[in-house]
Structure 1
Amino acid sequence: MIYLVLLLISFSLTYFIKNYAIKKSLIAHVNERSSHTTPTPHGGGIAISITWFIGLVYLYFTAQIETNLFYALLFGFIISIVSFFDDIYELSPKLRLITQAIVAIAGLYCLGGFDSLTFGIFDIQNPILTNIFAFFMIIWFINLYNFLDGINGYAGSEAIFLALAGFILFGGNHFLVLIVAVLGFLYWNWNKAKIFMGDVGSTLLGYNIAIFTIYYANQEASNFWIWIILFSVYWFDATLTLIRRKLNKEKLSQAHKKHAYQRLSQVGWSHFKVTNYSILLNMVLFCIIYFVSNIFIAFMFALIFLILVMKFIDSKKRFE
């Protein structure tokens, strides 16, 4: 029953935010980075955030979530607040980065740090090294999720896939809360979007995925690679694009339209088609995890698969 209530909250809030944004002219205008062609209301991620934190508090008071995970996820509230104002006032990159750093440290503290990073043949257990790695990983996940939020349904469907995969593999009602929180918004964002998520939603989702990765890796070191594979459509595209732009000697802070999903849009693929194909890619990655017992062999299969996908995208629209 609670999940139906949360779904209705997310759905209704998104509807009211959409109408309010139109009334107050809070519109995402078309610019050099945009993949959309018409001005559209933004800030729908507020509905995701509010619903998510209501559900999170409910889970805590009904003893359905571990205390350390609850508090680590709760610090995402700070990310949401700052990103909300960033959507409206365009805050300085330095302020956003400082906020992300503070939240990353707080989240890591709540989880008791990052215990071990395993590579199969050897492990890194030095707490200084593992926690420095985890700190930068959290910040990277926050930002790359924001980078990849650019077309209708893309960021929302990715969040639902990750939460659904997490529930199947690990259990945990927090995944169900995340699914319904995003699903209510996604109704208004799917295919011909009536509202966009905005930073307030995308940065929170990126933070949540980072926290899930560390939390479950602390339970079993190999779980780290499960989350890396599940999230690989996003981090592979974002990381490879960043490296390519660096090799091209581009200014990395400059807006661009060179991510894989953007290049597919440029050659005529509809947002609907790109998003649906990304869902298909995710399903293949899940099958690799589910049916290949050795996680490191699974990672190599996933990496080869993604390289082939990127070569296909490069054949459609060359990276320039």
Structure 2
Amino acid sequence: MKSWWFLLLVFAMSWGLTFFLRRYALAKSLMDIPNERSSHTIPTPRGGGVAIVISFLLALPVISGLDLLSHSVLYGVFGAGLFVAIIGFADDHGHIAARWRLLGHFTAAAWGLYWLSGLPPIGFLGFTVDLGWFGNTLAVVYLVWMLNLYNFMDGINGLASIEAISACVGMCLIYWCLGHVELIWLPLILATAVAGFMYWNFPRARIFMGDAGSGFIGIVLGGMALQAAHISIELFWSWLILLGVFIVDATWTLIRRLVQGEKLYQAHRSHGYQKAAIRWGHQRVTWMVAILNIGVLLPVAALVATGVFDGMLSILVTYACLSYLAYMAKAGIK
């Protein structure tokens, strides 16, 4: 019973902080002004994701003190997440050159990976391979891509929130069924903190998450997947399947824009979810992603976690199907 009261406190803190951040943004005119590349049409306060950051990070020392989270995971997730949030907050309130942002992101990712003990041996099709330093390099790139793609995918009402909540709750169910109760707390607290913010962002956006919140969620989700990989590599594949909509849409769009010779740092509105939102509206697309995550990706992730499906093969098939959806949505095309 005490655990539910603690989660209620995290939700209330996130909800209340978002309320005050919205009032602060309105008072200081910290507004996201629509332009030809925006998915919204009216000026809207930004920076509400700071509420998620504060609520989540304040909860970590508490659960660590209750022996529900190891000190190494605490240091890794807390440090990496805080550093990314600070960079995003500064960028939300001014501008940081892309090269310095990227340097900060790689630093945060390296810090998190160090405390999470690197990338464990990878198993696929019955084989296990220890990639050593090369694997750790790939893991750092993976974390940097996760935090950036989450920023790219935070463009319509509620989408970034529903992705985090559905992935975290889905993995909590898998952890519970498989007896990995020690892994439940991080995703459960993140989902709760995001839910407090989401009240103000969906179905009508009264405040936006901003880079501080989206980048933070991305690297924390990536870190939780690596944490799970040390328990079972199948759990790592399960995380990647549940996050497949964001990973595939962002990666497909990036590759298409590269092929077309476009400037990657230039703002655009060519992601698959943005094309879909133009056609069907923000609310419908967000619910479609939620249904896809829960109704399709969660069962596949659960079958991978239990060993019924091979993880690597399931990733390839799942991502191929999602890539087809991105192709049909004309993701990456102006």
TMscore range, shorter length: over 0.9
135, 141, 145: which one pairs with 1:130? Answer: 135
Equivalent residue, structure 2, for 1:99 = 104
State which drifts further: 101-110 or 282-291. Answer: 282-291
Give distance in 2, aligned partners of 1:218 and 1:62.
Answer: 22
Q: 1:123-156: CA deviations, max 9, x gaps?
A: 3313111101101001000100000000000001
State the secondary structure of the residue aligned to 2:233: coil
Give distance in 2, aligned partners of 1:45 and 1:169.
Answer: 27
Q: 1:41-91: CA deviations, max 9, x gaps?
A: 000001000000111121111111122211111111111112111100121
How many residues in Structure 1 have an aligned counterpart in Structure 2?
317
TM-score (structure 2 length as normaliser):
0.90
Tell me if 1:24 matches 2:36. Answer: no
Give distance in 2, aligned partners of 1:89 and 1:124.
Answer: 44
Assess, with a 3 A threshold, how the Cα gap between structure 1 residues 223 and 120 changes in structure 2: closer, same or farther: farther
- Consecutive aligned runs of 4 or more in structure 1 exceeding 6 Å deviation: none
Post-superposition offset of 1:249: 1.3
Post-superposition offset of 1:312: 3.9
State the secondary structure of the residue aligned to 1:150: coil
Give distance in 2, aligned partners of 1:57 and 1:301.
Answer: 39
What letter is aligned with 1:16? F
Give distance in 1, aligned partners of 2:232 and 2:197.
Answer: 33
Equivalent residue, structure 2, for 1:66 = 70
Give distance in 1, aligned partners of 2:327 and 2:152.
Answer: 21
Equivalent residue, structure 2, for 1:310 = 326
Structure 2 unaligned runs (5+)? Answer: 176-180
What letter is aligned with 2:87? V
Q: Is the 8 A contact 2:238 2:302 kept in 1?
A: no
Equivalent residue, structure 2, for 1:255 = 267
State which drifts further: 51-60 or 299-308. Answer: 299-308
Give distance in 2, aligned partners of 1:222 and 1:174.
Answer: 18
269, 292, 299: which one pairs with 2:315? Answer: 299
Q: Is the 8 A contact 1:124 1:130 kept in 2?
A: no
Give distance in 2, aligned partners of 1:197 and 1:58.
Answer: 25
Equivalent residue, structure 2, for 1:148 = 153
Q: Is the 8 A contact 1:59 1:174 kept in 2?
A: no
Give distance in 2, aligned partners of 1:120 and 1:153.
Answer: 37
Equivalent residue, structure 1, for 2:178 = none
% of aligned pairs identical? 35
Equivalent residue, structure 1, for 2:292 = 281
Post-superposition offset of 1:291: 4.0
RMSD over equivalenced CA pairs, Å: 1.6
Give distance in 2, aligned partners of 1:263 and 1:305.
Answer: 18
Equivalent residue, structure 1, for 2:192 = 180
Post-superposition offset of 1:266: 2.5
Structure 1 unaligned runs (5+)? Answer: none
State which drifts further: 143-152 or 77-86. Answer: 77-86
Give distance in 2, aligned partners of 1:106 and 1:163.
Answer: 23
Give distance in 2, aligned partners of 1:141 and 1:40.
Answer: 26
Give distance in 1, aligned partners of 2:71 and 2:88.
Answer: 25
What letter is aligned with 2:106? A
Give distance in 2, aligned partners of 1:2 and 1:289.
Answer: 28
Equivalent residue, structure 2, for 1:272 = 283
Give distance in 1, aligned partners of 2:109 and 2:52.
Answer: 20
Give distance in 2, aligned partners of 1:129 and 1:229.
Answer: 23
Equivalent residue, structure 2, for 1:217 = 229
TM-score (structure 1 length as normaliser):
0.94
Give distance in 2, aligned partners of 1:318 and 1:218.
Answer: 35
Post-superposition offset of 1:318: 8.8
Q: Is the 8 A contact 1:117 1:130 kept in 2?
A: no
Tell me if 1:163 matches 2:168. Answer: yes
Post-superposition offset of 1:297: 4.3
Tell me if 1:189 matches 2:205. Answer: no
Equivalent residue, structure 2, for 1:110 = 115
Give distance in 2, aligned partners of 1:5 and 1:37.
Answer: 34
Q: Is the 8 A contact 1:152 1:192 kept in 2?
A: yes
State which drifts further: 239-248 or 89-98. Answer: 89-98
Give distance in 1, aligned partners of 2:257 and 2:24.
Answer: 38
